[in-house]
Amino acid sequence: MRNRPRHGWRRVVNGVNFAALIVFGFIVLPLYWMIAAAFKTPANVGSSPPQYFPNPLSVKNFDVAFTQYTFGRYIANSVIVAVAATVLVLVLGGVSLLGLDLLLLVLRSLLRRAITMRAELDEVV
């Protein structure tokens, strides 16, 4: 494999950059589409041909989500579950760390005793 310097557009366009651009597109384009759909009017969300930019900007979807569907309660439930899961993982991780630490302490003690016994047996022989 030759390592020669790249000149011109070959310095920028290579396989890694191209793959990163494709991954970036697969992540950013759907995210943009969701955000743009959130600011469209309900009639424009499913229009054909699709509107790529919301015109006119509307916050009616947010109003409907928080008044008719209690979206705020859904968010609160998600936060409660996420915090409870995080606390549970931290507690269980701490307990398991304590158990592993005690196990290593016992194993070190046994190893130290075995080395001491070996040294004493060597002195006798």
**Residue-wise pLDDT tens for the chain (125 aa)?**
567 777 766 666 777 788 889 999 999 999 999 999 999 988 888 888 888 888 888 888 888 888 888 888 999 999 999 999 999 999 999 999 999 999 999 999 999 998 888 888 877 76
pLDDT of residue 119: 81
Q: What is the pLDDT of residue 125?
A: 65
Residue 62: inside a domain: yes
How high is the pLDDT of residue 96? 94
Domain contains 89: no
Residue 45 belongs to a domain = yes
Q: Does 99 reside within a domain?
A: no
114 in any annotated domain = no
In a domain, 110, yes or no: no
The pLDDT assigned to 52 comes to: 87
**pTM of the complete model:** 0.53
Residue 54 within a domain: yes
pLDDT of residue 23: 93
SS (HEC) of 13-71: CCHHHHHHHHHHHHHHHHHHHHHHHHCCCHHHHCCCCCCCCCCCCCCHHHHHHHHCCCH
Q: What is the pLDDT of residue 79?
A: 98
pLDDT in the model for residue 83? 98
Q: Is residue 84 part of a domain?
A: no
* 19: containing domain: 10-69
Number of domains in the chain: 1
